Amino acid sequence: MLRVEDIHTYYGESHALQGVTLEVDAGEVVCLLGRNGAGKSTTLKSIMGLTPPRSGKVIFNGRDIARRPAHWVARQGIALVPEDRRIFPGLNVYENLEVAQQRGGTGRWTPGAVLEAYPMLAELRNQDGGTLSGGQQQMLAIARALVTEPKLLLLDEPNEGLAPVIMQQIGALIDELAQTTTIVFTDQSVPFALKHAQRAYILEKGQVVYAGTTAEIRADVALQERYLSVA
């Protein structure tokens, strides 16, 4: 479904991604691992078109989408849930879902269907999105992405700032969505990522330094200490 080929992305003159290559098959859940500043979030933003790579390709369903505007990429079937969630304050939960719905959309994930599937959000449907807790906002951000009917769902640090009990709920949601949606996510919690993904790419200083199954990474303590330890 997705192949990223040797992308180089810059912030000004800072060379953030230095030849990142990865691929994701339809139906997979893939995580991007690495320490802070390794390039995980930039990789997702480069796929989405928010930080377009200066060179390289982003092939989605056989079509190069690199350097296309983010709104155009979204219409091709990719949705990004950003690290800061970007909930619209002043709009209630239902309205946050409604504004994301594809024009004329009649697919599986209408705002009503989302609320039916996730009763917790249904109970909050009339509450201002800006007043929700961090966990509630994260659930709403993921639900809002679903309303766009994505073929590929990108989750950037979905557990950032959340309590362990909420992290469990997010993990369960990822497992559930994986039955029907291809997912790529980043996470600082290595145990969480290895539990909920099938394969992983480890990034360091803007480069992919390891690719393998999560089972392989889980079994390789030396690899984890070299690239993922915060010590």
The per-residue pLDDT for 104 is 53
Separation CA 161–CA 224 (nearest Å): 23
Dist. CA 211–CA 217, nearest whole Å? 9
**Residues 198 and 214: beta-carbon distance below 8 Å:** yes
Please report which helix (H) or strand (E) contains residue 20, including its range.
strand 14-24
Q: Of how many residues is the chain composed?
A: 231
Both tokens assigned to 231: 């010590």
By residue range, what is the domain housing residue 89? 2-227
Distance CA 77, CA 217 (A): 30
* pLDDT number for residue 107: 74
What's the domain count of the chain?
1
What are 210's two structure tokens?
A: 């390891």
Query: Which residues does residue 22 pair with via DSSP β-bridges, in sequence order?
Result: 4
With contact defined as beta carbons under 8 Å apart, do 60 and 76 qualify? Answer: yes
CATH number at residue 187: 3.40.50.300
Please give the chain's pLDDT, 231 residues, in tens. Answer: 999 999 999 999 999 999 999 999 999 999 999 999 999 999 999 999 999 999 999 999 999 999 999 999 999 999 999 998 999 999 999 999 999 886 655 578 899 999 998 888 999 999 999 999 999 999 999 999 999 999 999 999 999 888 898 899 999 999 999 999 999 999 999 999 999 999 999 999 999 999 999 999 999 999 999 999 864
SS3 62: coil
pLDDT at 230: 61
Residue 108's pLDDT is what? Answer: 82
User: 107: phi > 0 → left, psi -120 to 50 → alpha, else beta; which?
Assistant: beta
pLDDT of 229 reads 84
